[in-house]
Amino acid sequence: MKSFSERRIAILGRGIAGLALAYRLLQKGLQPTIFGAHADSASRCAQGVVSNKGLLFFESPLFAAKLTSLSHVQKWLDELERVSGQSISRSFEGISEPYWDAEDFQSLIARIYRRHFLGCHRTENRAYDRHQAWPFLSKEPKGYLFYPADGWFDVDEALNALAEFSRQNGAVTFERQVLAIAPAGDGSLHLCDSSGEGHYFDQVVLATGAATPDILKSLLSHLPKMFLIGGQTLDLNLPYSSDSALLQVRKTMSAIWWKSQLRIGASSWKGMAINPLALEEDRNQLLMKAGGCFGWDPQSLPVESITQRIGTRLRFADRMPGVGSIPFAPWQEKIFLCTGFYKNGLQLADLCAQDLVALLQGEAESVRYPAFSPSRFFSN
């Protein structure tokens, strides 16, 4: 194996996982090659909400990572904005979750905290304040659960900042998909892309999200249990503006009102395929669900201004990401995973990118989250 500084490394995927990894490799002096279409990234469809709802399960490495990420992601965005010269809209002043009566309050904490607040992190129970109400309410909540550590950032702006940093620092980007990976005679890997061009690399990282199952099928006889989850986010242009970002969640729904745009999302379906009629029905159901979750009158929303964002995410059976080498010859220490983040990529991408860089450097002892290793899929 060549020394780390001499290696040719390819990253497949231009979502937040792939670009976060490119960012950390560039800081180490490497110039990775990035493959993938700009529009194919599910990250571009993300709502941008970073919310743990104060939930803590100490036995779970995923929740340990998510808790660390709440402060880390804010520092990372500050750093990224500074080094790229690109602005990234964000707000980490807390997120509210409304409830409508005592029974609804009990239902919420039953779902989130298993009927009590033991183990929750900084959660507050706040009374309703009509002076802080959203203007399109059709009913007033009894109160809110408030999560002061949670927040939101504009994912498009963050991805553009990462892409700009990559461009400024010499990363090569191909607007193409990689169709095949094969061992080459000199110990490297041969990649064939969608234009028919061939490339040679010492190591390849699959940060490919929903495209990962098809790539793994061509490499392995036994696959980890994984699922594709599709969904859409709706952007609505409002006739009035908010000076600060207002953030709410409700169960699996989220809503962000920033300037004159309202973004809502959380609908999902299994798999990738969906026809236009089903997409329209899903959009309407999403609007109705948002009305019920947040106390809005759906008829008051400017539906004629809706922009739909469609994306498909990858989820492993245990809901944790896969970060590390495929543990089988001839791919071991040559093909790595940095994928399967599902809903957690926004907050975990940079932490996992740093772990993967440590693995590429042969510094496994520096990895903070070894439980994310792909070897867990293949052990008895």
Query: Hey, what are 367's tokens?
Result: 């990895």
Tell whether 100 and 238 lie within a shared domain. Answer: yes
CATH of the domain at 259: 3.30.9.10
Residue showing tokens 């990372």: 76
**Cα angle 277-283-289, degrees, rounded to a multiple of 5:** 135
Tell whether 231 and 215 lie within a shared domain. Answer: no
Tell whether 306 and 164 lie within a shared domain. Answer: no
Asked if residue 206 belongs to a domain, the reply is: yes
Asked if residue 164 belongs to a domain, the reply is: yes
Asked if residue 29 belongs to a domain, the reply is: yes
Find all residues with CB under 8 Å of 296, minimum gap 6, and list them.
Answer: 134, 136, 137, 138, 290
Q: What integer pLDDT is reported at residue 117 of this predicted model?
A: 58
Question: Within 13 Å and on the Cβ side, how many CA atoms surround 215?
Answer: 27
Query: Hey, what are 77's tokens?
Result: 């965005």
For 334, other C-beta atoms within 10 Å of its C-beta total 19
Q: Strands 49-50, 151-153: parallel, antiparallel or unpaired by DSSP? A: antiparallel
- The backbone torsions φ and ψ at residue 302, rounded to the nearest 5 degrees and listed phi first, read -75, 75
Q: What integer pLDDT is reported at residue 380 of this predicted model?
A: 54
Tell whether 370 and 235 lie within a shared domain. Answer: no
Q: What integer pLDDT is reported at residue 108 of this predicted model?
A: 85
Tell whether 218 and 332 lie within a shared domain. Answer: yes
Tell whether 251 and 287 lie within a shared domain. Answer: yes
Tell whether 354 and 217 lie within a shared domain. Answer: yes
Tell whether 126 and 65 lie within a shared domain. Answer: no
Are the beta carbons of 108 and 262 closer than 8 angstroms? no
Asked if residue 88 belongs to a domain, the reply is: no
Tell whether 219 and 233 lie within a shared domain. Answer: no
Asked if residue 358 belongs to a domain, the reply is: yes
- From 296, 316, 336, the end of a domain falls on 316
Question: Within 13 Å and on the Cβ side, how many CA atoms surround 65?
Answer: 26
Q: What integer pLDDT is reported at residue 156 of this predicted model?
A: 95
- From 316, 334, 357, the end of a domain falls on 316
CA distances from 56 to 104, 130, 226, 259 (A): 21, 31, 25, 32
CA distances from 144 to 105, 129, 246 (A): 9, 10, 14
CATH of the domain at 55: 3.50.50.60
What 3-state DSSP class applies to 120?
A: coil
Tell whether 290 and 186 lie within a shared domain. Answer: no
**Side chain identity at 275, as an amino acid letter?**
N
Q: What integer pLDDT is reported at residue 191 of this predicted model?
A: 97
Number of domains in the chain: 2
Tell whether 293 and 187 lie within a shared domain. Answer: no
Tell whether 372 and 260 lie within a shared domain. Answer: no
Query: Hey, what are 321's tokens?
Result: 């990401």
Strands (E), the chain: 9-12, 33-35, 49-50, 90-91, 95-99, 124-127, 143-147, 151-153, 172-174, 178-183, 189-193, 198-201, 203-206, 226-250, 253-270, 307-316, 322-325, 335-339
Residue-level pLDDT, tens digit, the chain, 380 residues: 688 889 999 999 999 999 999 999 999 999 999 999 887 788 999 999 999 888 877 678 998 899 899 999 999 999 999 999 999 999 999 999 999 999 998 888 887 776 665 557 788 999 998 877 788 888 899 999 999 999 999 999 999 999 999 999 999 999 999 999 999 988 999 999 999 999 999 999 999 999 999 999 999 988 999 999 988 899 999 988 888 889 999 988 999 999 999 999 876 777 766 677 788 888 888 999 999 999 998 888 888 889 999 899 999 999 999 999 999 989 999 999 999 999 899 999 999 999 999 999 999 999 999 999 999 998 65
Asked if residue 372 belongs to a domain, the reply is: yes
CA gyration radius, the chain: 21
Question: Range of 328's domain?
Answer: 4-83+155-225+318-377
What strands lie across the sheet with 189-193, from one edge to the other? 178-183, 189-193, 198-201
- From 264, 285, 316, the end of a domain falls on 316
